[in-house]
Amino acid sequence: MGKTVRAQPGRGKLPQQPCDGKHYLQIMVQISVVDLSRLGVHLPENSVRMVVVQPYLADGALTPQEPYRVAAEAKDRQLETLKTTIDVAKEEKADFTVIPEYSVPGLDGVEMIEERLRSKAWLPGAILIGGIDGLNKDEYASIVEAHHTCVDDANGKESVEDDQWVNCCITWVKSSDGRLFRWVQPKLWPAWLEQSTQHQRMFKGKSMFLFRGRRTNEEVFTFGTMICFDWIAPTSPTPAQRILEEAHRTAGDSQMPITWLFVIQHNKKPSHFEFLNRIVEFFRNQSHPNATRTDTCLIFANTAGRVDPGSCHTHGTSGLILAPRAPFQTKGGLPTFAHDGSKFRGNKGGMLAGAGCSDMVLRERGECIHAFDQINPRWVQSGAAGRSYAAENAVVHTARGGVHVLAPGTGVAAAVKWVNDQLDEMPTTMPAHGDELEKDLTSNRNSVVAALRQGNSRNLDEVVRLATPDSPENPDEWSGCQSDGLSHVVDSLQIAAMGAKLVSVGVDKVHGVVCWKGRCFDVMAVKGQTHKTCVNHVVTRYGRRQRRNLLLVSRDAVNTPLDRREESILRTRDPAPGAERRYIDARNPSYHVGYQNLIGILGSAQTANEVAEQLYVSS
């Protein structure tokens, strides 16, 4: 079956049959193979730069009824996000720019994108994949009838009935001579919301494009795109299986690699069992051996779960999934990416690791723009000298300009992301205290939290490790224990600074420095199984450091008061002549108070000064 292919007036004609490929009419999903070499497109041989935007589509951002489209009051904001995305992609010199499902607001969004892609600043050979919001039949017709457009005849305007609407993606490619072409692909299978409509039906696409080209070293690459539910569509064969069938058939007696598959989503639960299970099935499928997946990279690009960077529990989880036995390192916590996505995927997160897949998750789930290099597995040399991660040089930008601590335009360390997320969710209530103390407590807390949010990776890593004995080396493995420890730090500093001056937070390997009446105290807040465990942790980790006065606030597993006899743990006699001086010796005194004792002081005081008098005098 042929395709609708028209030339754009004034911009020359498309190369002869750029949308070649055969189809199987007996199969629900047809595959059209597009040869990008005819457009002069050559991707880099060692890696490709990818930009993935995570726009925030709030509950009210899409219209409540079909066709689901960006609501009028949200359109300007969304257009600004896309403008920023394209600016970032130009700055990053992206080979691929990916915009999730429903994120391009109709004809206005398409026009805005094309205006920018036609500029000289948009590099020839660059590729942009964008998910368009709901289109009615007339709007869809205006897109597919444009002269610079390719669409399969099975998805032409004549195939769309009057009571149907279209959810589609467009792949834009700029040829080596500066001409812009686009391929329109409707969604193949509706999600539940798109099925349970009241007035119109979602048109089910009948075909997909599989793009083929060559890298600068003549290595063949292929890529295709699915729209969210297409990945788990209940067809037989599935869309992914059809891609494998077509690649196998096209390869003939040789082999054809599946290099990238992009899955663009607007999905609250991107790690649902079915999505993960289909990934495992895709890589384990041995029915089409000439469609090679040894070097395949799946890219899942989802919308955001909140309006700004920070903690959220829906949407997001964009990232890369590499084939089993891919020659990449999978340990460690690099900036921006978590190399073990199981923690971010809930109860079924271990499925991918169990199948041998490398699961790299972009930690930031709020609105932002990600950029990274996806490394060509064939470029990685064997042996220790060739060690490489699947993605490198990952950075995070804000989606609408400005700078955010979690989207600074550079990489975001795991400890920085983790601490900021915990601060987002940390309870703000304090134990019982007098009304006159509330203002000072709130001010102290705001100062502590603000300082921690601005902390660098090394300092925040130290804050958590000091607060919690035996913390895992990789911040991606931190859990509730470390979260409780961080909360203990904030609560302790909040009280310890009452009536005193909070000089610093989270620097010089202490949790804070508080000055009262000319004396400065290094404050450490440790939460462990017992008070003795907390003391041993401090002594073991910092026992040979010369310090000023030290105030240790320990909290055991059940928050019991500190037995006065245990305070002697930090008290030592003067060292023998010639012995090394320790921070816990009598000339450099240390004080120990239990957190339960600390909140007892807070509860009995009427003013901030009374808190300081009781705490520091009793110390």
* Residues comprising the chain, all counted: 619
Mean pLDDT, residues 507-536 taken together: 94
* Counts of helices then strands in the chain (DSSP H, E): 14, 26
- The pTM (predicted TM-score) of the whole model is 0.91
Q: Which residues contact 367 (CB under 8 A, 6 or more apart)?
A: 54, 55, 56, 81, 304, 306, 307, 308, 309, 399
What pLDDT score does 349 carry? 74
What span, in angstroms and rounded, lies between the C-alpha atoms of 320 and 315? Answer: 15
What span, in angstroms and rounded, lies between the C-alpha atoms of 354 and 44? Answer: 32
What span, in angstroms and rounded, lies between the C-alpha atoms of 550 and 555? Answer: 16
Q: What's the chain's average pLDDT?
A: 89
Which of the residue ranges 199-213, 225-239, 385-399 would you say has the lowest mean pLDDT? 385-399
What pLDDT score does 384 carry? 55
The pLDDT tens digits for 530-547 are 999 999 999 888 775 656
What pLDDT score does 405 carry? 97
Which of the residue ranges 162-176, 235-249, 379-393 would you say has the lowest mean pLDDT? 379-393
**Which residues in 288-434 belong to E strands, given as ranges?**
291-292, 297-301, 319-322, 337-338, 358-362, 368-375, 391-397
The DSSP bridge partners found for residue 169 are 131, 185
What span, in angstroms and rounded, lies between the C-alpha atoms of 353 and 605? Answer: 54
Whether 206 has a pLDDT exceeding 70, the answer reads: yes
- Considering only residues 286 and 213, tell me which one the structure prediction assigns the higher pLDDT: 213
Which of the residue ranges 99-113, 434-448, 558-572 would you say has the lowest mean pLDDT? 558-572
Q: How far is CA 536 from CA 216, 521, 544, 596, in A?
A: 59, 20, 13, 19
What pLDDT score does 193 carry? 86
What span, in angstroms and rounded, lies between the C-alpha atoms of 359 and 378? Answer: 18
What pLDDT score does 163 carry? 94
Q: Domain residue spans in the chain?
A: 28-412, 419-618
What span, in angstroms and rounded, lies between the C-alpha atoms of 108 and 111? Answer: 5
What pLDDT score does 1 carry? 35
Mean pLDDT, residues 211-222 taken together: 96
Whether 378 has a pLDDT exceeding 90, the answer reads: no
Question: Is 3.60.110.10 the CATH number for 28-412?
Answer: yes
The pLDDT tens digits for 403-427 are 999 999 999 999 999 999 999 999 9
